[in-house]
Amino acid sequence: MNISRLFLLIMGAALLWSAALFGYVAYIEQLDTDGRVAMQRHANHSIVVLTGGDQRIAAGLELLQDGVAPKLFISGVGEGVRLQDVLPELSVDTAKRIFLGREARDTLGNAHEVAAWLAETRGKAQSPRVVLVSAHYHLPRALWHFTSRMPEVTWIPYAAHPEALPLENWYGSLLGWRLLSSELAKFLGSKFMQVFYN
């Protein structure tokens, strides 16, 4: 293979991946928009926050205090972590409505941990509605795992927006390209593995 053909292949692959990233960002924005609309239309069973980035817990707490749902579950806080360590300034009434999951170490672990918690708390609700909060770049993969693991649950995506990665100009920073590329690869890998093993 000569150098010019190799260069064309590399450029073609780079253009295809860039187009995929722009499509991925558009999908994230659509998920967030649809979720914010759906969240207000019906009563919700609970709010679930996945730890792992800034703004996530703050976004979940704001939804709880706004009355979007009566309960908040924070998945993946780690062993030995107390509620006052995560949220030091809470009223007693608000603290009673927040629950912590300490076992999850990754997104798939989050899904298993949340499934166990929902099984304990959803009561007679056959198809509970749950607001799923994560960072915008992580939301598609999280939603995929949770929907696959718990198809009977109505999942309502809600994106937290990290200050370091605004979606409006993600392409203007190295962090944007690196983080979104990594997350898109994981998202596609998750879908491929599920299809392959099924």
Locate the domains of the chain by residue range.
Answer: 23-197
Band of residue 3 on the pLDDT scale cut at 50, 70, 90: confident
Dump pLDDT digits (tens) for 94-141. Answer: 999 999 999 999 999 999 999 999 998 876 666 789 999 999 999 999
Q: Where are the beta strands (DSSP E) in 16-91?
A: 46-50, 72-75
Hey, which CATH number is domain 23-197, 3.30.870, 2.60.40, 1.10.3470, 3.40.50?
3.40.50
Helix 174-197 vs helix 3-39: crossing angle, to nearest 10? 80
Contact 145, 107 (CB under 8 A): yes
